[in-house]
Chain A
Amino acid sequence: MAATTATTPPTPTDMPAVRPTRRRLSLGRAAAWTVMGLIVLITLLPFYWILRTALSTNAGLGADPANPLPVDLTTSGFERALGLQSAEEAIAQGGTGGGLDFWRYLVNSVIVSTLITGCQIFFSAMAAYAFARLRWRGRDQVFGLFLAGLMVPTIFTLLPNFVLIKQLHLVDSLLGIALPSLFMTPFAIFFLRQFFMNIPHEVEEAAFLDGAGKVRIFFRVILPMASTRILTLAVLTYITSWNDYFWPLMVSYSDGSRVLTVALAIFRAQTPATGVDWSGLTAATLIAALPMLVLFAASARRIVSSIGFTGIK
């Protein structure tokens, strides 16, 4: 990977917009738009379909599987997923009656993801600053070592990390889930270092002449300048930790540390293979996915343009 870091293409936002030349609607362009429309359809239709299913009754779904609208419109699936229904009521509606407290898992997911995102980005930004703007012996060698860490597949560190977390008596705790990704990822450091390196030195020098030390420059000048990059990284990190399943599955055993992804898989495993509670399951799926959709909707405009090639190298 080292060789690819040699070149630093500007971020796409810095580029002059490449406007497709306006041409009359040719057959080729019409075909291309049709393909694009098809892609959008395949991308979005599943979202509508789980909403439609979540708002149906299980009996209705069985009777009318192809109905494009919710069958017997109801919020019963959501009530079941959120544990608002009594066991008898849930079983009557086609649920299992096995209680799962999705509010609690939602809170757990928020705590874990927020903790990871906040700490990981702050510590990674500090390290990225040291790698990009401070001068010290062995800097490039240490950075090379960190980069090599990108190549280690996650599965490889998971088993030994589990053994370590167990020895620290942190199994089945939220801290145990968060700890391995709390301090850094090579990706985050790389992502921010690329940006810090391109900040002109004049900016730092001006602040230095005003009497600011390097710590102050980092907090007052560099970090604010990088806010869009940091926002992008934060959203990506939040999504990744929110969606993580394998590691929390290993570490978490009880409700106290259960996050949404794990709870959702358990909800799925509880429903019998025949007569799955699809209405409840899709409602639970929506509850698990909704926070990320909201987060993305709020930040999409800025982050979509800033996910660039500079970020992945």
Chain B
Amino acid sequence: MTIASSSPPFRRRGDGVLAAVFIAPAMLGFLVFLLWPTLRGVYLSFTRFNLLTPAEWVGLDNYVRMVNDPIFWDSLGVTVEYVILNIGVQTVAALAIAVLLQRLTQSALLRGIVLTPYLMSNVVAGLVWLWILDTQLGIGNEIIGALGVDRIPFLADETWAIPTIALINVWRHVGYTALLLFAGLQAIPNDVYEAARVDGASEWRMFWRVTLPLLRPVLAVVLIMTVIGSFQVFDTVAVTTAGGPANATNVLQFYIYGSAFGRFQFGYASAMSVALLVVLSAITVLQYRLTRAGRSDLG
């Protein structure tokens, strides 16, 4: 910011004391509930800890156990399957909605409607779709039946459960993602489209040649955020399938939760959290590099 560097007369002396006062509450929250727990989580992952007795240092035991734990690898696999389905469908759908909102109409009402599922909690969204997709009485299966297809036990079947949960969460989150992308689209100057149209480009061609390249930096950041969020799926699983059938939806967070609060293995649960943190950091860095998120084609 160029404005910030020019110093008006009254700003000559520093604001150290005032700044310290203003930042104190936020700093307290940051140190106590974000930085300290992060460090403590890493420490706990090297201990055996059940809340009742003091944490006991066990070195790499938890990590060795994790690497040899088939359920851990299963749940990591299930989580990755969920993330790929959820992010894949959500990104394409959100992009489509954002472009439709941008190119078709600027209606604030439509934007509001698209956002409504985001107001529901994951618990509510899970319950709503649990009912709609119920094998016996759900309207979803009634419609499928009317089309002449056999009933599908969406959440009770090992192959269907994860895709179903992924789509439920797409329903809840796609509107918010679409609005973020829509805001990014608004920043693309209209003359770029005008120029393309003069050149005789079709809407389809404009999407691929204008919209997508210019939206890329925004898309990259949104993608990184949604992937991080998506890896942390828990609520929907907890209310719909509770990890079943036969561990088919035992996502990593659910397994971590069970280890901590079901079996009181806080050390082991912390080690798996560290693993999740490492995976997420690696994905973030990789995504950031691959999509060259920092650079904009606009400038």
CB distance from A49 to the nearest CB of B (A): 6
Among candidates B18, B22, B100, B112, residue contacting A127 with C-beta atoms closer than 8 Å = B22
Give A58's nearest chain B residue, CB to CB: B137
Q: Annotate A138-163 by CB proximity to B: 1 below 8 A, 0 otherwise.
A: 01001001100101111111011111
Does B116 lie at the interface of the complex (its beta carbon under 8 Å from any beta carbon of A)? yes
Tally inter-chain residue pairs, CB-CB below 8 A: 312
Question: Does A136 lie within 8 Å of B25, measured CB to CB?
Answer: no
Number of interface residues of B (CB under 8 A): 112
CB distance from B37 to the nearest CB of A (A): 4
Question: Does A134 lie within 8 Å of B18, measured CB to CB?
Answer: yes
Interface residues of B in 95-152 (CB under 8 A from A): 96-97, 100, 102-106, 108, 110-124, 127-132, 134, 136-139, 142, 146
Q: How far is the CA of A166 from the CA of B260 in the complex (A)?
A: 14
Does A43 lie at the interface of the complex (its beta carbon under 8 Å from any beta carbon of B)? yes
Question: Does A153 lie within 8 Å of B277, measured CB to CB?
Answer: yes
Does B57 lie at the interface of the complex (its beta carbon under 8 Å from any beta carbon of A)? no
Does B201 lie at the interface of the complex (its beta carbon under 8 Å from any beta carbon of A)? no
Question: Does B41 lie within 8 Å of A157, measured CB to CB?
Answer: yes
Question: Does A43 lie within 8 Å of B114, measured CB to CB?
Answer: yes
Question: Does A126 lie within 8 Å of B23, measured CB to CB?
Answer: yes
Residue of A127, A179, A204 contacting most chain B CB atoms (<10 Å): A127
Q: How far is the CA of A134 from the CA of B294 in the complex (A)?
A: 27
**Size category, A interface:** 35 or more
Interface residues of B in 62-109 (CB under 8 A from A): 96-97, 100, 102-106, 108
Question: Does B266 lie within 8 Å of A242, measured CB to CB?
Answer: no
Does A12 lie at the interface of the complex (its beta carbon under 8 Å from any beta carbon of B)? yes
Given A49-B139, A149-B34, A312-B222: A197 and B4 within 8 A (CB)?
A: yes
Using CB atoms and an 8 Å cutoff, list the residues of chain A in contact with chain B. 1, 3-4, 6-10, 12, 15, 17-21, 28-29, 32-33, 35-36, 39-40, 42-44, 46-47, 49-50, 53, 61-62, 65-66, 123-124, 126-127, 129-131, 134-137, 139, 142, 145-146, 149, 151-157, 159-164, 166, 179-184, 186, 189, 197, 200-201, 204-205, 208, 214-215, 218, 239, 242-246, 249-250, 261, 264-265, 268, 276, 278, 281-282, 285, 288-289, 292-293, 295-296, 300-301, 304-305, 307-310, 312-313
